[in-house]
Amino acid sequence: MVHTDLPPSVSSARGRLSAAVASRFGIDARALAALRISLGLLLFADLLLRARHLDAFYTDFGVLPRSVLYEQYPTVSQFSFHTLSGDAWVQALFFGLAGAFAVSLLFGYRTRTASLLSLVFFVSLSARNPGVLNGGDSLLCRLLFWGLFLPLGERWSLDARRRTGEPRDRIASLASAALLLQIVLVYSVNAVFKLRGDLWVGGEAVRYVLSLQQFTVRFGDSLAQFPVVLRVADAVWLGLVVAAPCLILLRGRTRAAFVSLFVGTHAGMFLTMRLGLFPLVSITALSVFLPSSSWDRLTARLSNPAERAARRVGPSDRFGRIRPSVSPLSLTPRVVASLAASIRRTAARIAPAVVAASLAAILVWNAAAVGVVAVPGENPRVDPTEHTWDMFAPYPLTTDGWYAAPGTLESGDRVDAFYLSSPVGDDRPDTSEMYPSARWRKYLVGVRYSESERLERGVAGYLCRRWNATHEDDLTNVTVYYVEQPTRLDGPEPTRRVELTHRNCSTGA
Q: What would the pLDDT profile of 196-214 be if each residue is shown by its tens digit?
A: 888 888 888 888 888 888 8
Question: Does some domain include residue 376?
Answer: no
Q: State the average pLDDT over residues 167-180.
A: 89
Claim to verify: residue 224 and residue 128 sit in the same structural domain: yes
Q: State the average pLDDT over residues 315-322.
A: 38
Length of the chain: 509
Q: Classify residue 473 by its DSSP letter.
A: S
Question: Does some domain include residue 8?
Answer: no
Contacts of 139 (CB under 8 A, 6+ apart): 183, 186, 278, 281, 282, 285
What is the dihedral sign for C-alpha 113, 118, 124, 127?
A: negative
Claim to verify: residue 162 and residue 200 sit in the same structural domain: yes
Question: Does some domain include residue 43?
Answer: yes
Using pLDDT thresholds of 50, 70 and 90, give the confidence band for residue 281.
very high
Claim to verify: residue 118 and residue 71 sit in the same structural domain: yes
> If we measure between CA atoms, which residue out of 34, 38, 23 comes closest to residue 291?
23
Residue 424 has pLDDT above 70, yes or no: no
Confidence at residue 492, expressed as pLDDT on a 0 to 100 scale: 65
Q: State the average pLDDT over residues 230-236.
A: 91
Angle formed at CA 225 by CA 224 and CA 226, multiple of 5 degrees: 90
- SS3 string of 367-390? HHHCCCCCCCCCCCCCCHHHCCCC
Asked if 37 and 106 touch (Cβ cutoff 8 Å), the reply is: yes
Using pLDDT thresholds of 50, 70 and 90, give the confidence band for residue 356.
confident
Confidence at residue 491, expressed as pLDDT on a 0 to 100 scale: 63
- Could you tell me the residue range of the domain that residue 490 belongs to? 399-504
Radius of gyration of the chain (CA): 26
Using pLDDT thresholds of 50, 70 and 90, give the confidence band for residue 342.
low
Question: Does some domain include residue 81?
Answer: yes
Claim to verify: residue 62 and residue 144 sit in the same structural domain: yes
Question: Does some domain include residue 309?
Answer: yes
**What is the number of other CB atoms lying within 10 angstroms of the CB of residue 60?**
17
Residue 10 has pLDDT above 70, yes or no: no
**Of 139-153, 224-238, 364-378, which gets the smallest average pLDDT?**
364-378
Question: Does some domain include residue 186?
Answer: yes
Claim to verify: residue 214 and residue 309 sit in the same structural domain: yes
Claim to verify: residue 156 and residue 207 sit in the same structural domain: yes
The burial class, CB within 10 Å (0-12 / 13-18 / 19+), for 360 is exposed
Claim to verify: residue 194 and residue 238 sit in the same structural domain: yes
Q: In whole angstroms, what is the distance from residue 359 CA to residue 175 CA? A: 9
Q: In whole angstroms, what is the distance from residue 79 CA to residue 382 CA? A: 14
Claim to verify: residue 244 and residue 294 sit in the same structural domain: yes
Q: State the average pLDDT over residues 52-69.
A: 95
Question: Does some domain include residue 15?
Answer: no
Q: State the average pLDDT over residues 56-66.
A: 95
Question: Does some domain include residue 1?
Answer: no
Residue 312 has pLDDT above 50, yes or no: no
Residue 45 has pLDDT above 80, yes or no: yes
Q: In whole angstroms, what is the distance from residue 67 CA to residue 83 CA? A: 10
Residue 278 has pLDDT above 90, yes or no: yes
Q: Which residue has the higher pLDDT, 165 or 366?
A: 366
Task: List 497's β-bridge partners, or say none.
Answer: 483
Claim to verify: residue 127 and residue 199 sit in the same structural domain: yes
Claim to verify: residue 133 and residue 271 sit in the same structural domain: yes
Claim to verify: residue 440 and residue 361 sit in the same structural domain: no
Asked if 171 and 150 touch (Cβ cutoff 8 Å), the reply is: yes
Q: In whole angstroms, what is the distance from residue 178 CA to residue 149 CA? A: 10
Q: Which residue has the higher pLDDT, 309 or 390?
A: 390
Q: State the average pLDDT over residues 456-462.
A: 93
Claim to verify: residue 340 and residue 487 sit in the same structural domain: no
Mean pLDDT of the chain: 84
Q: In whole angstroms, what is the distance from residue 75 CA to residue 69 CA? A: 10
Q: State the average pLDDT over residues 481-486.
A: 89
Using pLDDT thresholds of 50, 70 and 90, give the confidence band for residue 230.
confident
Using pLDDT thresholds of 50, 70 and 90, give the confidence band for residue 139.
very high
Residue 455 has pLDDT above 80, yes or no: yes
Confidence at residue 223, expressed as pLDDT on a 0 to 100 scale: 81
Q: Residue 130: what residue type?
A: P
Q: Which residue has the higher pLDDT, 347 or 221?
A: 221
Residue 262 has pLDDT above 60, yes or no: yes
pLDDT digits (tens, 9 = 90+) for 81-90: 999 999 999 9
**Of 252-266, 281-295, 328-342, 391-405, which gets the smallest average pLDDT?**
328-342
Using pLDDT thresholds of 50, 70 and 90, give the confidence band for residue 171.
confident
Please state, for a pLDDT cut of 90, what percent of the chain lies above it: 50
Q: Which residue has the higher pLDDT, 312 or 137?
A: 137
Residue 398 has pLDDT above 80, yes or no: yes
Q: What are the helix (H) ranges across 108-163?
A: 111-128, 135-147, 158-162
Q: What is the pTM of this model?
A: 0.87
CA count, 13 A, side-chain hemisphere, 67:
5
Residue 125 has pLDDT above 70, yes or no: yes
For the chain, how many structural domains are there in total?
2
Q: What are phi and psi of 237, to 5 degrees?
A: -65, -40
